[in-house]
């Protein structure tokens, strides 16, 4: 189980601290609206990404647990959430990385999604 603490700064920035007292690294990517809503509702516990060179390079920089920031779109007010990734599993048979999701630590502009 990952225990976290949130630290708020005057600059309105939040830092997430894991139980090892280190700031958690954050990976940012986009996601479609439907899977974002499923994660918000708690019905989607695993996010999948294709095993390709792009994701190989990005994911090798991270060790679980880390933060995954998922944004639906590119606009300034796009819905987004930040969730803890507890484990990365490589499913070579299906050609997918499985990102096992934990607690949602932050949401923005998600009021109208659920």
User: What does the angle CA 80 – CA 82 – CA 19 come to, to the nearest 5 degrees?
Assistant: 170
Q: What is the pTM of this model?
A: 0.82
Q: What is the pLDDT of residues 26-71, one digit of tens each?
A: 999 999 999 999 999 999 999 999 999 999 999 999 998 999 999 9
Domain spans in the chain, listed from the N-terminal domain onward: 25-108
Task: Answer whether 42's CB lies under 8 Å from 1's CB.
Answer: no
Fold of the CATH domain 25-108:
2.30.130
**pLDDT over 90 for what percent of the chain?**
69
**CB 37, CB 113: distance < 8 Å:** yes
Provide CB contacts within 8 A for 13, sequence distance 6+.
Answer: none
pLDDT, residue 15, reads 57
Half-sphere exposure of 22 (CA within 13 A, CB side): 9
The pLDDT score that the predictor gives to residue 71 is 96
Note the pLDDT of residue 39: 96
């Amino acid at each position: 189980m990952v225990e976290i603490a949130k630290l708020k700064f005057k600059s309105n920035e939040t830092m997430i601290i894991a139980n090892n007292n280190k700031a958690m690294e954050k990976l940012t990517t986009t996601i479609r609206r439907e899977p974002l809503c499923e994660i918000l509702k708690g019905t989607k516990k695993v996010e999948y990404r294709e095993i390709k060179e792009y994701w190989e390079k990005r994911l090798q920089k991270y060790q679980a647990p880390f933060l995954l920031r998922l944004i639906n779109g590119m606009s300034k007010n796009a819905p987004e959430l930040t969730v803890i990734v507890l484990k990365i599993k490589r499913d070579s048979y299906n050609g997918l990385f499985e990102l096992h999701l934990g607690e949602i630590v932050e949401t923005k502009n998600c009021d109208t999604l659920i």
